[in-house]
Amino acid sequence: MENKLAWREVDLSALLNNLKIIKEKIEEKVEIIAVVKADAYGHGARVISRFLQKEGIKKFAVAHIEEGIELRNYGITGEILILSPQLYYSIPYFFEFNLIPLVSDLFFLEELGKYAKKLGKRLKFHLAIDTGMGREGILPSDIEKARNILSKYSELHLEALSTHLSTPENKKDPYNIFQKELCQKIYNDLIDNHGIYFHVSNTGGIFNFPELHYQAIRPGISLYGYGDKKLKPVMEVKARVTLVKEVPAGWGIGYGHTYITQENMVLALIPIGYADGYRRELSNKAKVIIKGEFFKVVGRISMDQFTVNVTGKDIKAGDVVTVMGREGDKIIDAQELSILSNTIPYEILTGFGSAKRLCTVYRFRGKNLKDPIEELGL
């Protein structure tokens, strides 16, 4: 990356490690629905989904229908589940691109049935039940109404039921008990003798509630390295120092002079800012790694750059900076940055991932890949 000022590094070996750990947590018969929404949490859905497909994953999930169409265009041949509610005018695309809707309301279910009947085509779908997340899904009290609608449309095939846990990362939250009991009741009432399956567990459920694995799980953030200590972060963010300069004592640094030097200080300028996903909340809090040492951010994060204190160290323009990632025994991960930013790792990863200025370098088994699709035969 000699000619780049800032970039993302995505390590497919870490992704493979995480997939292995997830598989070890479940029984062999439990299927994996890999969640690759939001451009695979900022890691690049084209490469990530094709890599997972080569590793045997046959089911994928995204948030919106546009993402499902993209996966088809990327060459994904397995099942693609659209997790979020879509409007009725999206219905033709489910048929055209062989996508599976996760149905969350009775009106959409009826419209889906009408369209399938008009075409004379069969369509698989999953039915979402709201067991306490308060987001997508019909209420348990509406299940009978859904059954009545289905009785009119033989073209609709109910493949699975789904629900979403609201606080699975916190084993002690009493609401988990309520959701677990309701899930089990739905399972007993609707699934045992009807040839359909149930998927409940996201990352928190996978690692904390094995009794809720049922027939399929939906790993998201765990694929990318967060949710358990054995997992390895897949994304790193790096840059090159663009300027080194000395300023005198009493000198204000950055907008608003939120940092004022107490003595002469040598600053290094790093060409990443909040437009690239490096959040403004990290001002005067975060650190970076250069040549195996931590250096503290001083002053406010700007739109496209920030400064660190490198006084007394041999740091030069062009030196590589680890903004997020590991260098030797030093590590800065999305969890640390999220705590400093009062947010969650998901937002850190997708923030870096959506930065257009940062190119992505894929790595596998220690080697940089110029074209991962071709070199790995994806």
Q: Is the pLDDT of residue 146 over 60?
A: yes
* Average confidence (pLDDT) over 156-183: 86
Q: What is the CATH number of the domain that holds 51?
A: 3.20.20.10
Residue 153, pLDDT score: 96
Q: What is the mean pLDDT of the chain?
A: 94
pLDDT more than 90, % of the chain: 86
Last residue of a domain, one of 223, 243, 261: 223
Is residue 362 domain-resident? Answer: yes
Residues 190 and 133 both lie in one domain: yes
Residues 195 and 261 both lie in one domain: no
Residues 266 and 320 both lie in one domain: yes
The amino acid at 216 = A
The per-residue pLDDT for range 8-17, each reduced to its tens digit, is: 999 999 999 9
Residue 192, pLDDT score: 57
Is residue 5 domain-resident? Answer: no
Residues 131 and 248 both lie in one domain: no
Q: Is the pLDDT of residue 299 over 90?
A: yes
Residues 6+ apart with CB under 8 A from 230: 21
Q: Cβ atoms within 10 A of the Cβ of 309, count?
A: 19
Q: Which domain holds residue 219?
A: 11-223
Q: What is the CATH number of the domain that holds 363?
A: 2.40.37.10
Supply the residues annotated as catalytic.
37, 255
Residue 272, pLDDT score: 97
Last residue of a domain, one of 223, 244, 275: 223
Is residue 118 domain-resident? Answer: yes
Is residue 80 domain-resident? Answer: yes
Is residue 6 domain-resident? Answer: no
Last residue of a domain, one of 196, 223, 250: 223
Residues 251 and 218 both lie in one domain: no
Is residue 2 domain-resident? Answer: no
Residues 85 and 218 both lie in one domain: yes
Q: How many domains does the chain have?
A: 2
Is residue 60 domain-resident? Answer: yes
Query: The pTM is what?
Result: 0.94
Residues 119 and 42 both lie in one domain: yes
